[in-house]
Each structure stands twice: as structure tokens, then as C-alpha cells.
Amino acid sequence: QVQLVQSGAEVKKPGASVKVSCKASGYTFTSYFMHWVRQAPGQGLEWMGVINPSGGSTSFAQKFQGRVTMTSDTSTRTVYMELNSLRSDDTAVYYCARDAELNRPWSLAVAGVCWFDPWGQGTLVTVSS
Amino acid sequence: QSALTQPASVSGSPGQSITISCTGTSSDVGAYKYVSWYQQRPGKAPKLMIYDVSYRPSGVSDRFSGSKSGNTASLTISGLQAEDEADYYCSSETGNTTLAFGGGTKLTVL
């Protein structure tokens, strides 16, 4: 079955960087985009961006541009999300979420015409001095 | 502040039907048809329940249905069950090359 397994919880100091991994299994890795969504404690969901594992193209929400990097490794079927210059308000659970549509046009995915299934289990990133 | 507005909470008794609204603007929900709904149980990852306004993924109960009228999308759950108690989020493209989520609605099954 399709499964996304994320790396474990992280504690970082303000100004540091964090890199979260998401290992996929059970489907053709390069045929589906991977998105990242975060959720601050007790808050709602926030879309961060998307990566095409086939080729590595990325697109980010304006809020995160310049501070986030997304990469993929097809040999290990793993995508990564790195967030730099961490602040206390970056404390959140970070989810990877596979695009639900096979071979969705990239132009639609970056325009937000997308939905996600399944999701990883989430990775708690705590930013505290 | 979310771009899409949902009620903070709704409740219903087992067997009843409830509807959760998701109100946007003519620039998002009203203009586009790709509204999705997610269920999130406490401590768990979200689960896709509805996409393209009214389509159910395989495996999702037909007690869940979606619709849209003007700038408001709706998720209806019929025959409420205790297991439906969760947070529900809508999402839609915004026309600003991004995707927005609603603030979430906590469903309590009385």
C-alpha cells in the first residue's frame, strides 16, 4: 500500500535550519508530486510548497520563498524539506503529502489545483532557545 | 487568518446529518471548482474525504458528500457516527498561485 514515512521530531534553536525527510513506498515515486503542509500547535493547515520528484522542479508559497528548499532522491524514494532561519513561530508539525492525481500537469499543481492523499505521519519541529 | 472561513465548531447526535460550510470569495471558492475536504482525528494526519467539490476517494463512506453554491462549499455528513468526531478542513486554489485551507471545524458527536 502507499505509505509515506517521515523522520523523527526535531528541536532547533532560533536561526538554525531543519531538514525533514519523507520516504515513499508502494507506488511509482516519479509519477506523483509531493507537497509539504505544516500545522502549528492547535492551529490549521498551511501549504508550503510542492516538488516534482522527477526532475526536482519546485514551487513554494510566497511566505516561504527564500527560506525553504525541497529536494528529492529517486534512488532512495525520499523527498526532503529544509527550512532555514528558524523562528519560534515555525514550531509546527510538518507533513509531506502526496498529490492524489497521477501525472497532474505541473501548471495546475503550482496553481494550487491539487489535493493530497495520503499524508505522512508528521514531524514535530520545535524551535526554542 | 485563513482565506477560507469555516465555523469553529458544529455538533450533532448519532444518526443525524450535519453540514460544514466553507466560505470564500469570488477569487477562490466561487471562481474555481477544485474544493477539497480533509478529516483530521486528534493526533493524526489529515485524510482526504472529498475532492473536486463532490468526488469521494475510494474507501471513503458515501455518508460524506460535498457541494458548492456561489462562494460557499459544503461538506455534509449523514448518519453521524461517533467515529466521525474530528476536525474538518476545506481547501481551494486561490487564483494567486497558491492553495489555501480553511481554519478548520471541530465536529462533536453528542
How far away is chain B from the Cα of A36, in angstroms, using its nearest Cα? 12
Indicate the pLDDT class of residue B26, thresholds 50, 70 and 90. low
Chain A residues in contact with B104 (beta carbon < 8 A):
44-45
The CA distance from A48 to A104, in Å, is: 18
Please choose, from the candidates A95, A60, A80, the residue with its C-alpha nearest in 3D space to the C-alpha of residue A17: A80
Interface test with A, best of B20, B35, B99 (most A CBs within 10 A): B99
Cell 528529492 maps to which residue?
A: A72
Check residue B91 and give its pLDDT.
94
Tens of pLDDT, residue by residue over A24-81, are: 999 999 999 999 999 999 999 999 999 999 999 999 999 999 999 999 999 999 999 9
Q: What is the mean pLDDT of chain B?
A: 90
Query: Does the pLDDT at position B30 exceed 70?
Result: no
* Residue A43 CA: distances (Å) to CA of B1, B89, B99, B104: 10, 11, 17, 8
pLDDT(A114) > 70: yes
Residues in chain A closer than 8 A to B101 (CB atoms): 44-47
Number of Cβ within a 10 Å radius of residue A106: 14
Question: Checking DSSP bridges between strand B105-109 and strand B9-12, what pairing results, if any?
Answer: parallel
Cβ-count burial of A71 within 10 angstroms (0-12 exposed, 13-18 middle, 19+ buried)? middle
pLDDT score at B29: 57
CA distance A129 to chain B (A): 25
Nearest Cα to Cα of residue B63 among B77, B53, B50, B51 = B77
B66-100 residue pLDDT tens: 999 888 899 999 999 999 999 999 999 876 668 88
What per-residue confidence (pLDDT) applies to A37?
A: 97
Contact B46 A45 (CB under 8 A): yes
User: In this predicted structure, what is the pLDDT of residue B27?
Assistant: 64
CA distance B62 to chain A (A): 18
CA atoms within 13 A on the CB side of A11: 2
Q: Which of A45, A111, A116 sits opposite B93 (nearest CB)?
A: A111
Nearest to A45 among B48, B94, B101 (CB): B101
A116: nearest CB among B48, B52, B102: B48
Q: Is the pLDDT of residue B1 over 80?
A: no
Q: Is B55 on the interface with A (CB under 8 A)?
A: no
How many other C-beta atoms are found inside a 10 Å radius of the C-beta of residue B28? Answer: 26
User: What is the tens place of the pLDDT at every residue in A88-106?
Assistant: 999 999 999 999 999 889 9
Query: In angstroms, what separates the C-alpha of A72 from chain B's closest C-alpha?
Result: 21
Determine how many CB atoms are found less than 10 A away from the CB of residue B74. 20
A100: left (phi over 0), alpha (psi -120 to 50) or beta: alpha
